[in-house]
């Protein structure tokens, strides 16, 4: 009788534990879906500076405070250091494109943390990533995070961006007040890609792969000398840099005012690009091509030169 009673008690205990566990999972799942659907929720993202001017981004899980996802770890060292210092755990790696300054640390981080890796479908990247393309969703449910993938070729042929929770991680395609160079793609591809990013909601936070803002702004101010938003932003970005702070994230609304590569349809930009090219330009990709060529040959004034974008 005593044995039956003990078994019954063990059964009760087990179901209680299971119920508690289920309740916990339900709450967490509920929290995740609530958070995902919360329009005002803002991602917590930390910048990890690397090399001369790269930013590696740590996206904090909204439901598990010690977990982060890393975007474009070009160097494992600074990422490991940030994780250690803040007592964080790595949950996943997102790659935007294959350049070494964005993927150089992937293999070491995978070895150390054994986490899933996501990378572009259209090009090879290290760490044996799950290769994702346009419209696919990277679901990291246990972290309460999910990102939609956009294919944005031009800088490289398979470059992708991750969009979610009001944030955009766009690697070397869109920079604040500028854009990436055309290493593998065409002007047509890049202007389409930038067009895709330019129509995201204005308050989308823009996390780029490099701190190029000041040197980009000095080019932008030559393209549009009368653009007040550019002048204002030179002051703001300048004071941020003086304090050693990143000028990022930017947002799409700000970029639509200060970034000549997102303003291809604006009269002033069209006119300036045509003047540089020496002839009329009819399509946006022609305007883009002229601007990009101009920027490639542009040397910023020494006062706000920064580093020359690669």
Distances in whole angstroms, Cα of residue 166 to Cα of each of 56, 222, 240, 303: 18, 31, 23, 34
Question: Is residue 211 within the footprint of Fe ion (CB under 5 A)?
Answer: no
Contact set with Zn ion (CB under 5 A): 99, 172
Instruction: Examine the residue annotation and report whether 226 is marked as an active-site residue of this protein.
Output: no
Distances in whole angstroms, Cα of residue 236 to Cα of each of 174, 211, 231, 301: 19, 14, 9, 18
Q: Which is nearer to Fe ion, 104 or 209 (CB)?
A: 209
Instruction: Examine the residue annotation and report whether 293 is marked as an active-site residue of this protein.
Output: no
Q: Which is nearer to Zn ion, 67 or 250 (CB)?
A: 250
Which residues 6+ apart lie within 8 Å of 33 measured at CB? none
The per-residue DSSP string of 254-281 comes to: HHHHH-GGG-TTSHHHHHHHHHHHTS--
Q: Which is nearer to Fe ion, 101 or 211 (CB)?
A: 101
Distances in whole angstroms, Cα of residue 113 to Cα of each of 3, 70, 108, 116: 46, 12, 9, 9
- Find the shortest distance in angstroms from Cβ 180 to Zn ion: 6
Instruction: Examine the residue annotation and report whether 24 is marked as an active-site residue of this protein.
Output: no
Catalytic, out of 97, 159, 165, 233: 97
Among 101, 151, 211, 255, binds Fe ion (CB under 5 A): 101
The footprint of Fe ion on this chain (CB under 5 A) covers a number of residues equal to 3
Instruction: Examine the residue annotation and report whether 297 is marked as an active-site residue of this protein.
Output: no
Question: Is residue 75 within the footprint of Fe ion (CB under 5 A)?
Answer: no
Q: Which is nearer to Zn ion, 143 or 149 (CB)?
A: 149
Distances in whole angstroms, Cα of residue 57 to Cα of each of 14, 68, 276, 302: 42, 9, 36, 29
- Find the shortest distance in angstroms from Cβ 296 to Fe ion: 16
- Find the shortest distance in angstroms from Cβ 213 to Fe ion: 15
Catalytic, out of 101, 159, 165, 233: 101
Catalytic, out of 60, 98, 155, 233: 155
- Find the shortest distance in angstroms from Cβ 125 to Fe ion: 13
Q: Which is nearer to Zn ion, 75 or 224 (CB)?
A: 75
Q: Which is nearer to Zn ion, 212 or 219 (CB)?
A: 212
Instruction: Examine the residue annotation and report whether 210 is marked as an active-site residue of this protein.
Output: yes
The number of residues making up the chain comes to 310
Question: Is residue 72 within the footprint of Fe ion (CB under 5 A)?
Answer: no
- Find the shortest distance in angstroms from Cβ 185 to Zn ion: 12
Tell me the per-residue interface mask from 249 to 288 with Fe ion, x by CB under 5 A, - otherwise: ----------------------------------------
Question: Is residue 172 within the footprint of Fe ion (CB under 5 A)?
Answer: yes
Place of tokens 């993938």: 149
The 10 Å CB-count burial string (b at 16+, else e) for 188-225 is bbbbbbbbbbbebeeebbbbbbbbbbbbbbbbbbbbbe
- 286: partner contacted, choices Zn ion, Fe ion, none (Cβ within 5-8 A by kind): none
Catalytic, out of 60, 98, 99, 159: 99
Taking contact as CB under 5 A, which single stretch among the options 94-102, 107-115, 230-238, 300-308 is the one that binds Fe ion? 94-102
Instruction: Examine the residue annotation and report whether 99 is marked as an active-site residue of this protein.
Output: yes
Instruction: Examine the residue annotation and report whether 97 is marked as an active-site residue of this protein.
Output: yes
* Nearest alpha-carbon partner for 261 in 281, 285, 236: 285
Backbone angles phi, psi at 44, to 5 degrees: -95, 125
- The C-alpha torsion from 17 through 22 and 25 to 30, rounded to 10°, is -140
In whole angstroms, give the CA distance from residue 248 to residue 133: 26
Interface ranges with Fe ion (CB under 5 A): 101, 172, 209
């Amino acid at each position: 009788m005593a044995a039956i009673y003990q078994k019954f008690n063990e059964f009760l205990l087990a179901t209680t534990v299971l119920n508690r566990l289920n309740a916990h999972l339900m709450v967490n799942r509920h929290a995740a879906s609530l958070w995902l659907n919360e329009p005002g929720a803002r991602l917590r993202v930390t910048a990890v500076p690397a090399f001369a001017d790269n930013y590696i981004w740590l996206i904090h899980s909204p439901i598990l405070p010690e977990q982060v996802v890393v975007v474009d770890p070009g160097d494992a060292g600074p990422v490991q250091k940030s994780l250690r210092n803040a007592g964080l755990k790595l949950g996943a790696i997102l790659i935007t494109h294959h350049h070494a300054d964005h993927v150089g640390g992937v293999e070491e981080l995978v070895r150390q943390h054994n986490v899933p890796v996501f990378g572009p479908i259209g090009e090879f990247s290290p760490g044996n990533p799950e290769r994702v393309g346009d419209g696919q969703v990277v679901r990291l449910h246990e972290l309460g995070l999910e990102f939609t993938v956009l294919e944005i070729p031009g800088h490289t042929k398979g470059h992708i961006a991750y969009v979610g929770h009001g944030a955009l991680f766009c690697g070397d395609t869109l920079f604040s007040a500028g854009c990436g160079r055309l290493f593998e793609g065409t002007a047509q591809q890049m202007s389409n890609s930038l067009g895709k990013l330019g129509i995201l909601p204005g308050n989308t936070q823009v996390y780029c792969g490099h701190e190029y803002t000041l040197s980009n702004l000095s080019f932008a101010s030559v393209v549009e000398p009368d653009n007040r938003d550019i002048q204002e932003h030179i002051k703001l970005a300048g004071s941020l840099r003086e304090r050693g702070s990143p000028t990022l994230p930017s947002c799409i609304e700000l970029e639509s005012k200060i970034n000549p590569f997102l303003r291809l349809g604006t009269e002033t930009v069209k006119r300036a690009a045509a003047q540089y090219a020496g002839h009329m330009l009819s399509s946006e990709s022609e305007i883009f091509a002229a601007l990009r060529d101009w920027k490639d040959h542009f040397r910023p004034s020494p006062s706000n030169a920064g580093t020359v974008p690669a």
